[in-house]
Amino acid sequence: MTAFEDRTRRCQERLAEVGADAAVLFPSTNLFYASGFREEPMERHLFLVIPGEGDPAFVAPEMYDDQIRDASWVGDLRLWADGDDPMAVVADLAAELDLRGGHLLVDDTMWALFTQDLRETLPEATFDLASEVFDDLRIRKDEAELAALREAGDLADAVSVEIRELGEEAIGMTETELAEEIDRRLAESGGEEVAFGTIAGSGPNGAKPHHRHADRKIQRGDPVVLDFGAYVENYPGDQTRTVVFAGDPPAGFEEVHEIVREAQQTAVEAVEPGVLAEEIDRAAREVVESAGYADEFVHRTGHGVGLDVHEDPYIVEGNETELEKGMVFSVEPGVYLPGEFGVRIEDLVAVTDSGCERLNDSPRTWEPL
């Protein structure tokens, strides 16, 4: 049994537990997680139907016949040609599987076009979200997933060191040029694609947590927030360092950087099975608050990472999820002083039997390498 089939069978067990008759997935990370076939959403109807019992089936354009068969363990393909009515194929499959009046879980990200077509084709069915099943399945990573995440972490570490070694060469580059250099090196080092829009926020732009990059030139003494990663074997890296390439940093920067570094270390050391997700957020936040920067720590401490860069568990106040072995998430406290600079330090960690494994280990200092 492949890992993908095993995940599908566990999905079927969860369907029974939550009282659902089937999951209906469209091109998404859930579909890949269960089938091994990856595709971007498009205007054509492509579904993976996972019934509570028996084998799943694809409803797909006939042009995908060979692609799906090559990538997926699923052997039941109900193909339709351009000019056909794909929902007629869905209706026939639903009748065959006795799903016409069933309770169906659809992908959370399924386009409204397709959910509306499902509702019109199956008017007696009821609908809810597939996250009811898949969030619980995906929150704990298996060994193959952890291996891919480790590789993605190693890649981010290597590029982080390379970029920091630019030193004086980075002075005068625009943020966009620096981001493009990071992306190029991620690709050359084996990254499949960037995991998200690379952040290179210099000086006052670093005080905007989700600033990407712009035409501002990096100056001597500028703190630069660098947040990037790339996919390896379908799993992303995500690391943040705040560095000064050359020159003396502004007043107060070294103090703030040390506060953030201490907050991150404290939070990482708090990670172990049985601890609540919100307690990790609290551990980081208490360090920042005690230093007088409570109002400048404006986001959650972390987010889960898997096939999606942002997924469960979210490391935030109010999340009472108990940490379990195999969960992977970021620990990334930050302090942001508008008009001056920002500091964020981020690593991914995997929960182990007794604590956690850090998936990033590049230098967390701010000084040039």
pLDDT tens-place values along the chain, 369 residues long:
799 999 999 999 999 999 999 999 999 999 999 999 999 999 999 999 999 999 999 999 999 999 999 999 999 999 999 999 999 999 999 999 999 999 999 999 999 999 999 999 999 999 999 999 999 999 999 999 999 999 999 999 999 999 999 999 999 999 999 999 999 999 999 999 999 999 999 999 999 999 999 999 999 999 999 999 999 999 999 999 999 999 999 999 999 999 999 999 999 999 999 999 999 999 999 999 999 999 999 999 999 999 999 999 999 999 999 999 999 999 999 999 999 999 999 999 999 999 999 999 999 999 988
Q: Which of 266, 246, 257 has the alpha carbon at shortest distance from 337?
A: 257
pTM of this structure? 0.94
Residue 295: other Cβ atoms inside 10 A: 10
**Residue-level pLDDT at 221:** 97
List of domains in the chain: 3-138 (3.40.350.10), 143-358 (3.90.230.10)
Residues 6+ apart with CB under 8 A from 188: none
Task: Note the pLDDT of residue 326.
Answer: 98
Q: Report how far Cα 111 is from the mean position of its chain's Cα atoms.
A: 20
Crossing angle of the two packed helices 277-290 and 253-269, in degrees rounded to 10: 150
pLDDT score for 368: 87
Q: Spell out the residues 6+ positions from residue 223 whose beta carbon is closer than 8 angstroms to its own.
A: 202, 203, 206, 242, 243, 244, 249, 250, 253, 257, 341, 342, 343, 366
Supply the Cα-derived Rg of the chain in whole angstroms: 23
